[in-house]
């Protein structure tokens, strides 16, 4: 059991946003977009809804990241860099910490799939499946050691720069755990977690295996469950509901992540105002935590309809 997740449990719920752009965005446009992110206004919104932690994506599949990273630039070699010159993560910490809101970050476990240069330079291959003429597939047993060592080095730079500014990591796309991470020697889950915690040994980490119901813990080296949930919440009283049994899942803090909109980072609210507080309270009753994903504007603000729903959530639960 991991007592250093107590602060997370006591937070009860938090907010997640996917701050992303398309692969066709130029480095200049990306920097302009990141520079225009209004950290003070977002912090004010999060404070008003009484969120105790906030997740932001460092980047995802486009190859654009909202923080500089010299190690990434050295390996990938794209100029001008697709990593922003502004360190948005550090700037967010400065305003969120004043309100007692902890900052957490999201990163995929693989290279940005829509950036062919980065995929090649980082020695990344996705899926590990050979397709056969009869339509079947066979998973190749690839460990991708070269990629993993590079990715850990990239992560280590971010983690050491941010230090205790970042309280946790949510790592997406750990779909091939047996091939890539379940090994006694590094690179493995242990070395991956060590890279994430290089700047803050108390940072909590989760590795996402994809949508799983019931929620599972992927490895002993994660501190809380990634808990990705898509359309299994009870919107009409008939669909199956994700039910926690207790605080711990094989030693990891029980946590789920799902979206308030029609899908991740988009759409209109899919629930009536009373469902998110009721479901969050239910998960909290088992000492679990719920993180709610909402859309975010290019300027870094939560749209009004979702802000209002978070206000109901916060006023009900706090």
pTM of the entire structure? 0.93
Dihedral in degrees, nearest 10, Cα atoms 297, 20, 24, 305? -30
pLDDT at 58: 98
pLDDT in tens, the chain (318 residues): 566 899 999 999 999 999 999 999 999 999 999 999 999 999 999 999 999 999 999 999 999 999 999 999 999 999 999 999 999 999 999 999 999 999 999 999 999 999 999 999 999 997 655 555 555 656 566 899 999 999 999 999 999 999 999 999 999 999 999 999 999 999 999 999 999 999 999 999 999 999 998 899 999 999 999 999 987 655 444 444 566 678 999 999 999 999 999 999 999 999 999 999 999 999 999 999 999 999 999 999 999 999 999 999 999 997
pLDDT at 128: 52
- Convert 85-123 to b/e letters by CB count within 10 Å (16 or more is b): ebbbbbbbbebbeeeebbbbbbbbbbbbbebeebbebbb
Structure tokens at 34: 């990141």
pLDDT at 4: 85
pLDDT at 134: 57
Q: What is the largest CA-CA distance in the chain?
A: 59
- Ordered by where they begin, the domains of the chain are 3-317 (3.20.20.80)
pLDDT at 213: 86
pLDDT at 130: 52
What is the distance between the alpha carbons of residues 209 and 222, in angstroms, rounded to a whole number? 12
């Amino acid at each position: 059991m991991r007592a250093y997740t107590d602060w997370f449990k006591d937070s009860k719920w938090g907010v997640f946003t996917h701050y992303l752009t398309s692969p066709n965005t130029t480095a200049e446009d990306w920097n302009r977009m990141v520079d225009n992110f209004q950290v003070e206004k977002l912090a004010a919104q999060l404070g008003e809804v009484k969120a105790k932690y906030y997740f932001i994506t460092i980047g995802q599949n486009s190859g654009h990241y909202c923080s500089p990273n010299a190690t990434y630039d050295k390996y990938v070699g794209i100029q001008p860099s697709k990593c922003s010159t502004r360190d948005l993560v550090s700037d967010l910490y400065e305003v969120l910490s004043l309100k007692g809101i902890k900052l957490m970050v999201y990163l995929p476990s693989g290279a940005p799939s829509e950036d062919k240069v980065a995929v090649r330079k980082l020695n990344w291959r996705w899926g590990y499946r050979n397709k056969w003429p009869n339509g079947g597939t066979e998973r190749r047993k690839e460990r991708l050691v070269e990629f993993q060592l590079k990715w850990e080095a990239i992560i280590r730079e971010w983690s050491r720069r941010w230090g205790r500014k970042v309280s946790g990591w949510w790592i997406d796309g750990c779909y091939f755990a047996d091939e890539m991470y379940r090994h006694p020697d590094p690179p493995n889950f242990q070395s991956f977690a060590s890279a994430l915690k290089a700047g803050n040994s108390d940072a909590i980490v989760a590795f996402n295996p994809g949508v799983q119901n019931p929620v599972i813990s992927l490895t002993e080296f994660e501190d809380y469950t990634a808990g990705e949930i898509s359309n299994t919440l009870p919107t009409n009283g008939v669909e199956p509901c994700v039910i926690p049994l207790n605080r711990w899942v094989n030693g990891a803090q029980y946590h789920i992540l799902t979206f308030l909109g029609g899908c991740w980072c988009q759409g209109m609210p899919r629930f009536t105002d009373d469902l998110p507080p009721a479901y969050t309270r239910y998960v909290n009753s088992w000492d679990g935590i719920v993180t709610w994903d909402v859309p975010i504007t290019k300027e870094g603000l939560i749209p009004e309809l979702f802000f209002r729903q978070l206000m109901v959530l916060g006023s009900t639960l706090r």
